[in-house]
Amino acid sequence: MMQLQDILFSQGFGTRRICCGLIQQGLVQVGPQALVCTDPTELIPPEGLSFRVQGETWQYHAQAYLMLHKPAGHECSQKPSTYPSIYTLLPGPLRNRGGGAAAGVQAVGRLDQDTTGLLLLSDDGKFIHRMTSPRHHVPKVYEVQVKHPLDDRQVARLLAGVVLEDDPKPVRAAACEAVSEHHLRLTLTEGKYHQVKRMVAAVSNRVEGLHRSAIGSITLPPDLLPGQWRWLSAEEVLALTQKTK
């Protein structure tokens, strides 16, 4: 059981004082019957709780696991230098969950501002580490549009391993397929800086467009449009974490 004000605070609706005020003003409705609750200290079981705050419906989540279809022209940073932050695409409560200096969900890895596609976000530090640690070898699939026609030699080199400027150890693709003359499907299990672009450059080609289509067992749904987000299901989170233990 949790006090209603603590539930709202944990879900990112502001400080406890703000959450208390929302409740006392009758702006919070609880449960399937959407009953108005004006007592901030009322004890409520949080699991499975549906509630409305200022007319918007929310579901209680002890921890947040999201997918976002990242559009081009957005930076994966809380303090972007040039382009808008991906976090502006999310509602306020997701950006403020938990309070404190490290409030809100965080991107699980990063995509360049001109790269589109699947991005996971969470406020679960262990999940983020599991998804990004090189030792877990989480596969990430990229759809790469290249400038010059592809050939078997380029694909073979990417599979065998190419040497990047700052790393004498060859970097290999886990899978590589020329889908068409200018479309390369590349699967990586590590995440070095600008890795796809540098690997493609190492085989004398150039990336013209880059889109991440899958992470682990999760594929970007065709109906999730650029800039849109949704919660991961419990089954999706379990499938991701089971493969990386």
- Catalytic residue status for 112: yes
CB–CB of 34/56 below 8 Å?
A: no
Cα separations in angstroms, 85 against 71, 95, 97, 107, 205: 11, 12, 17, 11, 30
Catalytic residue among 39, 112, 124, 166: 112
Closest CA to 108 of 118, 98, 99, 100: 118
3-state secondary structure of 172: coil
**Residues labelled as active-site residues:** 112
